């Protein structure tokens, strides 16, 4: 049910950050009749192209942040690495969802691991590392192979290195010097999966079908929905995601990335307290997309159905597609000629290798045929 304090259509919603996730949030918000303001250091951004107002300012600009917050009813985020004091400034003038403490946990790998372990949730063995000597101790305790990661501000494989038995740990530590890090035990997994879960102001929760993810060069390449796993495992994954959302007291959308082990056990890898790349399929294949649900949750509206209308797959479009095309322009017609294919471009003008420029979703009679369409459509762009 909708509470008396619901933020109704016609209100102004604020999003901090201005990339593709904010863009798709803004599209769904405007479909529901809301106005959208965005704040980030970037001009003519993916979100700004859709928003009613684009504020170009640093997250450390207190005056700009406070002025921005005064003009909106509720603030949400399209990425979690927003300084805590920035959120505190905004919270003095508007509602903030998810709460700043949720972002505080999820923007720092060590805090996130400690939170999950403290809540009794399954994570890989880990140790805090601040210097080379501590890395040697941590490696001895956990054992190698392992993965050394910066504690903060890492994504898409940035800020991490795999360590193998016999590696020179002192040399491996050099790029990490001066910042806290975490050593994680290496997890031998069968599949990488993710669960998108949403939780409303009233505590109501819902999950989308479990996704299966394949990565290339540490960047998500293909998502299959539903995941090709037994229903008993999928049910356990959904329940685990709900436990995380409840422990965080989340209001919003949360992605819980997990490893599925050979024995059927699940280990949580990372959290993202906002819509996620692996949930893009929902724009075209779900009754309610992850972005529409983000609008509903932060505004105190009833949750929408997370049912999938058809099996789906998503393939990311990186700047490589533009750079590898003979003309510099992908062959959009070739992709769009395939039945069931949907093209989403983010409005970014400068293609670079590894930069996410858009994605393709495809639907099919089963997830394998959907994935084949998504792959064929992407391959057809490079001609």
201-215: average pLDDT: 98
Identify whether 279 is part of a domain: yes
Read off φ and ψ for residue 182, nearest 5 degrees.
-140, 135
Identify whether 337 is part of a domain: yes
Whether the per-residue pLDDT at 3 is higher than 70: the answer is no
12-21: average pLDDT: 98
Question: What pLDDT score was predicted for residue 154?
Answer: 59
Identify whether 6 is part of a domain: no
208-213: average pLDDT: 98
Examine the domain organization and report whether 161 and 203 are in the same domain: no
Taking only the tens place, the pLDDT of each residue in 318-370 is 999 999 998 999 999 999 999 999 999 999 999 999 999 999 999 999 999 99
Its domain, for residue 142, covers 125-185
Taking only the tens place, the pLDDT of each residue in 177-199 is 988 999 999 999 999 999 999 99
Identify whether 369 is part of a domain: yes
Identify whether 173 is part of a domain: yes
User: In CATH, what number is assigned to the domain containing residue 130?
Assistant: 3.30.1490.20
30-45: average pLDDT: 98
Q: For the chain, what is the domain count?
A: 3
Whether the per-residue pLDDT at 1 is higher than 70: the answer is no
Residues 231 and 229: their CA atoms lie apart, in Å, by 6
Whether the per-residue pLDDT at 153 is higher than 70: the answer is no
Question: What pLDDT score was predicted for residue 220?
Answer: 97
Examine the domain organization and report whether 362 and 336 are in the same domain: yes
Taking only the tens place, the pLDDT of each residue in 263-275 is 999 999 999 999 9
Share of the chain above pLDDT 90, in %: 94
Question: What pLDDT score was predicted for residue 383?
Answer: 80
- The CA distances from residue 149 to 110, 128, 140, 214, in Å, are 9, 10, 17, 20
Whether the per-residue pLDDT at 157 is higher than 80: the answer is no
pLDDT-derived band at 2, boundaries 50, 70, 90 = low
Taking only the tens place, the pLDDT of each residue in 229-276 is 999 999 999 999 999 999 999 999 999 999 999 999 999 999 999 999
User: In CATH, what number is assigned to the domain containing residue 84?
Assistant: 3.40.50.20
Question: What pLDDT score was predicted for residue 223?
Answer: 98
Question: What pLDDT score was predicted for residue 195?
Answer: 98
Whether the per-residue pLDDT at 169 is higher than 60: the answer is yes
Identify whether 113 is part of a domain: no
Of the candidates 123, 117, 173, 121, the residue with the CA atom closest to the CA atom of residue 149: 173
Average pLDDT, the chain: 96
Taking only the tens place, the pLDDT of each residue in 109-119 is 999 999 999 99
> 261 with 217: CB under 8 angstroms?
no
DSSP 317-339: EETHHHHHSTTSS--HHHHHTST
Q: Which of 159, 185, 211 is the last residue of a domain?
A: 185
Residues 252 and 254: their CA atoms lie apart, in Å, by 7
Identify whether 104 is part of a domain: no
Examine the domain organization and report whether 210 and 160 are in the same domain: no
């Amino acid at each position: 049910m909708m509470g008396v304090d619901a933020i109704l259509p016609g209100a102004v919603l604020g999003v901090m950050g201005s990339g593709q996730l904010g863009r798709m949030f803004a599209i769904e918000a405007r479909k529901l009749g809301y106005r959208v303001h965005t704040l980030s250091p970037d001009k003519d951004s993916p979100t700004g192209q859709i928003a009613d107002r684009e504020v170009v300012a640093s997250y450390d600009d207190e005056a700009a942040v406070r002025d921005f917050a005064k003009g909106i009813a509720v603030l949400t985020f399209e990425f979690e690495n927003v300084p805590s004091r920035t959120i505190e400034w905004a919270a003095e003038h508007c509602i903030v969802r998810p709460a700043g403490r949720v972002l505080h946990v999820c923007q720092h790998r060590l805090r996130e691991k400690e939170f999950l372990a403290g809540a009794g949730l399954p994570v890989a063995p880990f140790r805090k590392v601040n210097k080379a000597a501590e890395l040697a101790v941590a490696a001895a305790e956990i054992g190698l192979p392992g993965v050394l990661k910066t504690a903060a501000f890492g994504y898409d494989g940035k800020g991490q290195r795999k360590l193998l038995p016999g590696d020179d740990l002192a040399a491996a530590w050099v790029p990490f010097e001066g910042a806290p890090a975490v050593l994680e035990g290496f997890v031998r997994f069968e599949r990488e999966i993710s669960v998108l879960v949403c939780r409303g102001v009233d505590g109501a929760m819902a999950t989308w079908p479990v996704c299966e993810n394949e990565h290339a060069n540490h960047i998500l390449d293909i998502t299959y929905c539903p995941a090709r796993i037994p229903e008993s495992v999928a049910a356990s994954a959904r329940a685990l995601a709900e436990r995380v959302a409840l422990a965080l007291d989340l209001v919003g959308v949360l992605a819980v990335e997990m490893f599925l082990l050979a024995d059927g056990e699940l280990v949580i890898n990372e959290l993202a307290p906002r819509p996620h790349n692996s949930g893009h399929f929902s724009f075209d294949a779900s009754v309610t997309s992850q972005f529409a649900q983000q609008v509903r949750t932060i505004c105190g509206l009833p949750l929408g159905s997370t049912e999938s209308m058809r099996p789906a797959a998503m393939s990311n479009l990186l700047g490589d597609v533009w750079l590898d095309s003979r003309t510099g322009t992908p062959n959009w017609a070739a992709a769009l000629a395939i039945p069931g294919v949907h093209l989403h471009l983010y409005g970014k003008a400068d293609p670079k290798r590894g930069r996410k420029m858009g994605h393709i979703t495809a639907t099919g009679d089963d997830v394998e045929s959907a994935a084949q369409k998504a792959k064929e459509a992407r391959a057809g762009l490079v001609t």
